[in-house]
Amino acid sequence: MPRARTSQIDRQTAAPQQEQGSGCFSGFMLVPLSVIFISTLLAALAMKTTPIPSSRVDLPPSTSTGIALIFTPEIQYWAEDIAQWAAASQLDPNLVATIMQIESCGDPRAISSAGAMGLFQVMPFHFAASDSPYDPDTNAARGLAYLVRSLQAGGGDARLALAGYNGGIGILSRAEWTWPAQTKRYIQYGVPIYQDARNGLPHSEAVTEWHETYGASLCRQAHNRLGLP
């Protein structure tokens, strides 16, 4: 969520050239030349209509109802809840799990030095006066409402949604080189984790790297809090 805090990741087509021949075309040349012309035309049209690769991370089909195996045991603990929260918000559960993995590693009582709270590290001003910020359902509702807004602002690009969730939706209108270093690190880990999850991999080097670099103590705290063996 947008916050002034230290995160857990503190992140030619060139026109075909025609050879100039000399003299007249013979009747025998008409057929092969017409084939060459048609082939060249079709190739040019194909090159013109081929989409340009981008850094977008579009959401997978909405048929995804569970989370991948790549997430740590602390996130797997919340798998059924994540599926329900994601369905209620019309989000991919793997995107929701990616956010939780990086934000709290599943610790419902996690709190940052800036005051972000709970599973999705929601800042206090997102809660109503009657809310219980550490209640998992409430925390998820407030956090995922902001994720939905971030996803919409990013035109359905999950990469931008992750950036907006961390740095605030306002940064999406700015040049990427101006984004905070924390946000850049956030998507550096979040994007490959999410891609591995939606691809159904049994193991993710991205999760391992995040865990070893930033998440070990966070996950240990969550592990103990949840009473996992």
pLDDT one-digit tens code per residue, 120-172? 999 999 999 999 999 999 999 999 999 999 999 999 999 999 999 999 999 99
Tokens of 81: 């809840």
How confident is the model at residue 127, as a pLDDT? 96
CA–chain centroid gap for 216, Å, is: 22
Are 65 and 168 contacting, i.e. CB atoms less than 8 angstroms apart? no
Longest dimension (CA), the chain: 90
**C-alpha distances in Å from residue 215, one per residue of 28, 84, 104, 130, 206:** 72, 25, 9, 32, 12
Q: Confidence band (pLDDT; 50, 70, 90) for 9? A: low
Q: What is the mean pLDDT of the chain?
A: 82
Burial class (CB in 10 A: 0-12, 13-18, 19+), 42: exposed
The CATH classification of domain 73-226, taken from the options 3.40.50.620, 1.10.530.10, 3.40.50.300, 2.30.42.10: 1.10.530.10
- Averaged pLDDT, 183-195: 97
Query: What amino acid is encoded at 127 in this protein?
Result: F
How confident is the model at residue 144, as a pLDDT? 98
More confident residue, 76 or 13: 76
How confident is the model at residue 128, as a pLDDT? 95
pLDDT one-digit tens code per residue, 26-81? 333 334 444 444 444 444 444 433 332 345 666 555 455 799 999 999 999 999 99
Query: What amino acid is encoded at 32 in this protein?
Result: P
How confident is the model at residue 90, as a pLDDT? 96
State the Cα–Cα distance between residues 121 and 92, nearest whole angstrom: 19
**C-alpha distances in Å from residue 195, one per residue of 52, 79, 80, 114, 204:** 20, 18, 21, 29, 9
How confident is the model at residue 8, as a pLDDT? 54
| Res 95 pLDDT > 80 | yes
| β-strand partners of 58 | 157
Domain locations in the chain? 73-226
Q: Confidence band (pLDDT; 50, 70, 90) for 18? A: very low
Q: Confidence band (pLDDT; 50, 70, 90) for 114? A: confident
| Res 213 pLDDT > 50 | yes
